[in-house]
Amino acid sequence: MGQNKEHLNKLLDFIEALAKDKDNAWFVKRLREQYGLRYDGKIDDIYEYCIEQVIKEQAEQFYKDFPIKELVPGLMEDFEMMESFHRKNDFDNFSMAVYQQIERITNWVCQNQRLNEAAKKLMGHPAYIMSIQQSDGKWVEAKISDRNTTSSYQIAKLLFGKEASDKARSELAAHWAVDKILCVLYFVCYRAKLKSQEYNQFIEYKNLYSAIYLFRCLNHRGSELKEYQKKVIDDIRPQQGVYYYKFMQALLFYVEGVGNGMAKLDELYNYAASQDPISVKLDGPKVLGKIELPESNKKRK
């Protein structure tokens, strides 16, 4: 069983204080021999060993309640890498380790057949549910069936933008990396119950997952970034200290969202099964008024 983090931190401080006292050289030597640590007259190896134990405990706590148990060992390894790169202030590799955790979860979830059936069935349905307020002013917990039918903004449009009609027909696993993440975000983390007032939060997470993926691509040779992608990276670079925590928050939201959402997948599946599919519409050109062609253009061969 892992030890309390606070106790381990106190232990680190105690070891450091002991090692600074030359009279305790025997203790450092014994500790080094016990754990096979190198010794160059400093306490770096001992300190690093203790830090690794703390990070391991943090990984265990982070994924302790995650329900997809077969993924947990690999997720914990990636988490430990993430924290190690964070300590070294290696932002690019930190981002890659964050992405690897999201990728492991996403690829597993996107293989779920019930989720695939539900998602494809609902792509043309309204993206938002309605918030219902009682006469006493209290808000009622909305159900997945409380779709905002007055809105023509479809789920596929929210997820895929201009490519909605083409991508809505694909299996989840066939989508590009960020598209898969967005599908899991909407159908699993938000459980297809996104409120219109949550739109900004949804887009914020969408942008964070896209940014995490971009930094992951920097670790893969041959990945050519477009100009707008380079701008995202250039904007984040001066704020890396902040984005360490933004990326970790995005990871936490995803892990907790998938854990809760997969446990309640029946609600989504049963609702989708009760609905008829709706075709995904393309946004056509907006015609502001009647266009009169000149006489010379009315008849063309």
pLDDT tens sequence across 121-180: 999 999 999 877 666 666 677 899 999 988 889 999 999 999 999 999 999 999 999 999
Please tell me whether residues 132 and 153 are part of one structural domain: yes
pLDDT value at 295 more than 60: no
Boundary of a domain, candidates 62, 79, 96: 62
What is the average pLDDT across 249-269? Answer: 97
Number of domains within the chain: 2
Report helix angle 240-263 to 199-217, nearest 10: 110
Please tell me whether residues 150 and 176 are part of one structural domain: yes
Please tell me whether residues 148 and 52 are part of one structural domain: no
The reported pLDDT for the residue numbered 6 is: 76
Please tell me whether residues 93 and 222 are part of one structural domain: yes
pLDDT value at 288 more than 50: no
pLDDT value at 12 more than 50: yes
Instruction: Tell me the CA distances in angstroms from 36 to 5, 20, 30, 54, 130, one per residue in order.
Output: 24, 20, 10, 19, 61
- Quote the CA–CA distance of 114 and 37 in Å, as a whole number: 51
Residue 156 lies in a domain: yes
Please tell me whether residues 19 and 138 are part of one structural domain: no
pLDDT value at 38 more than 60: no
Element (H, E) at 258: helix 240-263
Please tell me whether residues 135 and 57 are part of one structural domain: no
Please tell me whether residues 27 and 129 are part of one structural domain: no
Residue 292 lies in a domain: no
pLDDT value at 31 more than 50: yes
Higher-confidence residue of 153 and 29: namely 153
**153 is in which domain, residue-wise?**
70-277
pLDDT tens sequence across 213-249: 999 988 776 567 789 888 999 999 999 999 999 999 9
Boundary of a domain, candidates 62, 79, 99: 62
Please tell me whether residues 85 and 21 are part of one structural domain: no
pTM, whole model, 2 decimals? 0.78
Please tell me whether residues 155 and 206 are part of one structural domain: yes
Q: Is residue 131 helix, strand or coil?
A: coil
Residue 134 lies in a domain: yes
The reported pLDDT for the residue numbered 40 is: 54
Q: Which of 200, 285, 205 has the alpha carbon at shortest distance from 253?
A: 205
Please tell me whether residues 39 and 95 are part of one structural domain: no
Residue 300 lies in a domain: no
pLDDT tens sequence across 81-133: 999 999 999 999 999 999 999 999 999 999 999 999 999 999 999 999 987 76
Please tell me whether residues 178 and 273 are part of one structural domain: yes
Q: Which of 294, 124, 105 has the alpha carbon at shortest distance from 189?
A: 105
Q: If pLDDT is split at 50, 70 and 90, which confidence band does 3 have?
A: low
Please tell me whether residues 219 and 83 are part of one structural domain: yes
The reported pLDDT for the residue numbered 221 is: 60
Higher-confidence residue of 104 and 29: namely 104
